[in-house]
Amino acid sequence: MAETRWLDAGEQRTWRAFVAATQRLFDQLDRELQRDAGMPHAYYQILVNLSEAPGRTLRMRELAAHTSSSRSRLSHAVARLEERGFVRRQTCPTDKRGALAVLTDDGFEALRAAAPGHVEGVRAHLVDRLTPAQMAQLREISETLLGG
Amino acid sequence: MAETRWLDAGEQRTWRAFVAATQRLFDQLDRELQRDAGMPHAYYQILVNLSEAPGRTLRMRELAAHTSSSRSRLSHAVARLEERGFVRRQTCPTDKRGALAVLTDDGFEALRAAAPGHVEGVRAHLVDRLTPAQMAQLREISETLLGG
């Protein structure tokens, strides 16, 4: 095996700051959403994605792609959301193998109630703390990472 | 309550790209560490922090701060690492209320074995995909978020 290319001091400092900053940010948003809406950020993202889809419906496969989550983790989350009455699962009428997730009216209401507080959190912990130039840099960095 | 300051289109695009990019990155690193070392990234971080402490020992409270994790999540992780024989918990000799976590020799060996593959992952999924200028921007952004 080739020699390990260890991180140099600068790369290491960047990596550790990035890990700590993202962990703290997502922990804060999780705690706030849990307190105010009784759900973690991953569940909120599922509701957002369904709310924007035609007929508030997505194939489970599409929903997994939209939320960057594994099929097994998504299945678990959707099952919890179904127990809460926020999502309904049904079989796709044109493709028996394609399971669908549908946002219910209660799910839509839960999302509408949670959204203002969540947006305030995203502003307070991220958007309002960065300059417009830093926001542009963060977008370019994120899109570079997603593009590969 | 004041009117909600919704994200504008640009802020929304940045936020969503950032969430998707960080989720994908940490999922990849988790999967790789799980496959190669049988532990998620959060456990790896615990071992790294202990390995760098004097006597490979930290108070649980310090370890929670170093790894940006809640006390309950950390307790759970340290209990799992103790079962694996990688960490040993003991009472602080000078402060009966202060629980200590100590990295064992087996834990140190597990870390040494996992490190080269993990560093390759951090390079492949982040460091090598960004320009030096982007790495500098990411550091500044992360340190700004941590500084508040």
The tens digit of pLDDT for each residue in B118-130 reads 999 999 999 999 9
B71 burial type by CB count under 10 A (0-12 exposed, 13-18 middle, 19+ buried): exposed
Q: Which of residues 29-58 of B touch A (CB under 8 A)?
A: 45
- Complex prediction ipTM: 0.91
Angle between helix axes B9-37 and A132-147 (nearest 10 degrees) is 50
> pLDDT higher for A11 or A3?
A11
Chain A residues lying within 8 Å of B18, measured CB to CB: 126, 138-139, 142
Q: Does A9 touch chain B (CB under 8 A)?
A: no
Closest CA of chain B from A147, distance in Å: 9
pLDDT at A41: 93
The tens digit of pLDDT for each residue in A49-105 reads 999 999 999 999 999 988 877 888 899 999 999 999 999 999 877 777 789 999 999
Chain A interface mutation, best of B14, B43, B137, highest count of A Cβ atoms under 10 Å: B14
pLDDT at A66: 87
Q: How confident is the model at residue B69 (pLDDT cuts 50, 70, 90)?
A: confident
A52 burial type by CB count under 10 A (0-12 exposed, 13-18 middle, 19+ buried): exposed
The tens digit of pLDDT for each residue in A89-123 reads 998 777 777 899 999 999 999 999 999 999 999 99
Give mean pLDDT, residues B71-84: 93
Q: How confident is the model at residue A1 (pLDDT cuts 50, 70, 90)?
A: low
The closest alpha carbon to B63, from B81, B84, B45, B80, belongs to B45
- Determine the Cα–Cα distance for residues B131 and A99; give it in Å rounded to an integer: 41
- A123–B69 CB contact, under 8 Å: no
With a cut of 60, say whether residue B62 has pLDDT above it: yes
pTM, rounded to two decimals: 0.91
Q: Does B139 touch chain A (CB under 8 A)?
A: yes
Q: Does A113 touch chain B (CB under 8 A)?
A: no
- B14–A135 CB contact, under 8 Å: yes
- A24–B145 CB contact, under 8 Å: yes
Chain A residues lying within 8 Å of B134, measured CB to CB: 137, 140-141, 144
pLDDT at B68: 79
Give mean pLDDT, residues A30-43: 94
Rg (CA), chain B: 18
With a cut of 60, say whether residue B146 has pLDDT above it: yes
The tens digit of pLDDT for each residue in B16-53 reads 999 999 999 999 999 999 999 999 999 999 999 999 99
Q: Which of A6, A126, A143 sits opposite B119 (nearest CB)?
A: A6
Position A17: which residue type? A
Q: Which of B45, B119, B142 sits opposite A7 (nearest CB)?
A: B119
With a cut of 60, say whether residue B148 has pLDDT above it: no
pLDDT at A92: 77
- Determine the Cα–Cα distance for residues B23 and A25; give it in Å rounded to an integer: 13
Neighbours of B17 (CB within 10 A): 20
Q: A41 near A64, Cβ under 8 Å?
A: no
Q: Does B13 touch chain A (CB under 8 A)?
A: yes
Share of chain B above pLDDT 90, in %: 85
Query: Which residues are bridge partners to A90 per DSSP?
Result: A100
With a cut of 60, say whether residue A148 has pLDDT above it: no
* Mean pLDDT (chain B, rounded): 93
The CA distances from residue B14 to A127, A143, B18, B29, B48, in Å, are 9, 9, 6, 22, 31
* Strands A57-59 vs A95-103: parallel, antiparallel or unpaired: antiparallel
